[in-house]
Structure 1
Amino acid sequence: MTAMFRIEIDSLTKSFAEQSGGVIPLHDLTLQFPAGAVSAVIGRSGCGKTTLLRQIAGIDAPDRGSIRFVDESGRGARPKLSVVFQEPRLFAWMNVRRNVEIAVRHAPEPERSKAVDAALELVGLAGRDRAYPDELSGGMAQRVGLARALVGEPDILLMDEAFGALDAITRQKLYREFVAILEKRPMTVVLVTHDVTEAVMLSERVLRLAEGGVRNRWDIDLPYPRNLAMPQVGVLSEKILSEFFA
């Protein structure tokens, strides 16, 4: 069973050197991502959204500050963590099963095959495991990427514009499917997105990054599943946008 972890970020600073001068996307950032919740991070391009995600994932190291993962007992621990990118990044020479299986390649059989079967079932791709990436639609390819992220049963899921490359209809379908997945397999999710409506549709809290820190926070107290026909979705999206540009 997946453990529940909160993410504690304390005084995090990350800068990059450029010819025109240093850029500091994150400066003395302190915040928490609650355990078992979906938190969305929005902001203008270059505000540090992806930089923050890379710090949490351990891809990059901060200049200063710390990131701590805390389990339900209040102790620091090392969670299982997965990342879903905007592009599914599938290996063209591998079929769907092998693209998912690579994430658990060190697991013994028959556990490995069972895990892959469960992940493909979870994202609605049971029976398509022998297909190759060039035979998949954009939505199906992204499902494979999601299955690969979920096959190891992560405690924390990081999503970097994971639905951004999809058309509007496919995106709405995957929103519903993603919420259904979280009902079956709860976990802590950090969702980076440029799309305010997406943030409202999927998350329980929206954070806006600007000038190196958190400028705004909004709680999204709406029942799941959500859809665009819900008046509250439009109202909250407009509220966030109006305060975003205030």
Structure 2
Amino acid sequence: MTGQLEVIGLSKQFIIEQKPLPVLCNINLSVKSGEFVSIIGSSGCGKTTLLRIILGLDTDYEGQVLLNGEQIHGTGLERGVVFQEHRLLPWLTVEDNVAFGLRRLAAAERAPLIKRHLALVGLGGFEKAFPYQLSGGMAQRVAIARALVNRPELLLLDEPLGALDALTRIYMQEELEKIWRKEKISMLMITHDVEEAIYLGDKVVIMSSRPGLIKKIIPVELPRPRDRGSTDFARLKEALLEEFQLGVPKLDVEYTI
């Protein structure tokens, strides 16, 4: 099985004005092959730092980060990433943006891969369009296709839908789940949206900050596709909000007429 991630005893600190500033403390986390894991937490809790370490962009830490049992050293095509901003190159067409990471392949080999992945994200027919001609949701779908075209074993998602309007975001959540089910790829997503974390995740990892700790890991044992309006969904959402002390207090209110 591929795409299995193990983070063991991970701690990270920065040096600010010659003083250590702990950012992550003893993080232990696993993503099974084909699992979708959501991470939520307040700003500054180290979520993005954790993703940078898993990507191999930051190597100055304590602990182990293993992919398929092997220690991660630097970046690699077995790990893809999608950021909050699509980061498409504006002077390249959609197909050229998707092909950007395939330059090692001959044109004849690239073409079917590009076609397949643009079809996967519902953008067949937009190959020659430029980023400025796309909506925000369409541009982010191109970014997802670009991340998937190298067939990574693990896809890291750093607030990938955070910049979208509310309706587009819900639509893109549904599309992302379809892609995940079809590709059977392991995914690890950072989000500030509790409902999004529940809708997409097999489990939700709650982080607290300063330094970043894993406070709790909650399995999401709801059938897919998930019904946002169901009682079970609402209960789980309330339980997660209460972890951040954002639950709505149940007050006894008397009304007089």
Relative to the length of structure 2, the TM-score reads 0.88
Structure 1 residue 125 corresponds to structure 2 residue 119: no
Any conservation in 1 of the 2:47–2:190 contact (CA below 8 Å)? yes
Tell me how far apart the structure 2 counterparts of residues 227 and 153 of structure 1 sit (CA, whole Å): 30
SS at match of 1:110: helix
Q: Which residue of 1 aligns with 2:223?
A: 223
Tell me how far apart the structure 2 counterparts of residues 94 and 242 of structure 1 sit (CA, whole Å): 45
Q: Which residue of 1 aligns with 2:165?
A: 167
SS at match of 1:89: coil
- The residue type paired with residue 198 of structure 1 is E
Tell me how far apart the structure 2 counterparts of residues 7 and 62 of structure 1 sit (CA, whole Å): 19
Any conservation in 2 of the 1:159–1:189 contact (CA below 8 Å)? yes
SS at match of 1:191: strand
Q: Deviations over 1:34-80 (max 9, x none)?
A: 2210001111111010000000000111321110112xxxx538771
Q: Which residue of 2 aligns with 1:235?
A: 235
User: Displacement, 1:21?
Assistant: 4.4
Tell me how far apart the structure 2 counterparts of residues 231 and 103 of structure 1 sit (CA, whole Å): 44
User: Displacement, 1:33?
Assistant: 1.8
Q: Which residue of 1 aligns with 2:49?
A: 51
Structural mapping, 1:1-246, within 5 Å: 4-19=2-17, 21-70=19-68, 75-76=69-70, 80-210=78-208, 211-245=211-245
Tell me how far apart the structure 2 counterparts of residues 44 and 77 of structure 1 sit (CA, whole Å): 29
User: Displacement, 1:126?
Assistant: 0.3
Unaligned segments of structure 2, at least 5 residues? 247-257
What is the aligned residue count?
240
Any conservation in 1 of the 2:65–2:71 contact (CA below 8 Å)? no
Q: Please identify runs of 4+ aligned residues in structure 1 that moved more than 6 A.
A: none
Q: Deviations over 1:143-168 (max 9, x none)?
A: 01011001111110000000100011
Any conservation in 2 of the 1:12–1:62 contact (CA below 8 Å)? no
Tell me how far apart the structure 2 counterparts of residues 115 and 53 of structure 1 sit (CA, whole Å): 26
Structure whose alpha-carbon radius of gyration is higher = 2
- The residue type paired with residue 244 of structure 1 is F
Any conservation in 2 of the 1:13–1:62 contact (CA below 8 Å)? no
SS at match of 1:22: strand
User: Displacement, 1:117?
Assistant: 0.5
Tell me how far apart the structure 1 counterparts of residues 33 and 213 of structure 2 sit (CA, whole Å): 21
Root-mean-square deviation over aligned CA pairs: 1.7
Tell me how far apart the structure 2 counterparts of residues 76 and 59 of structure 1 sit (CA, whole Å): 17
Say which is worse superposed, 162-171 or 61-70, in terms of deviation.
61-70
Unaligned segments of structure 1, at least 5 residues? none
User: Displacement, 1:27?
Assistant: 1.5
Tell me how far apart the structure 1 counterparts of residues 104 and 23 of structure 2 sit (CA, whole Å): 36
Tell me how far apart the structure 2 counterparts of residues 4 and 208 of structure 1 sit (CA, whole Å): 25
Tell me how far apart the structure 1 counterparts of residues 212 and 43 of structure 2 sit (CA, whole Å): 12
SS at match of 2:226: coil
User: Displacement, 1:245?
Assistant: 2.0
- The residue type paired with residue 223 of structure 1 is P
- The residue type paired with residue 236 of structure 1 is L
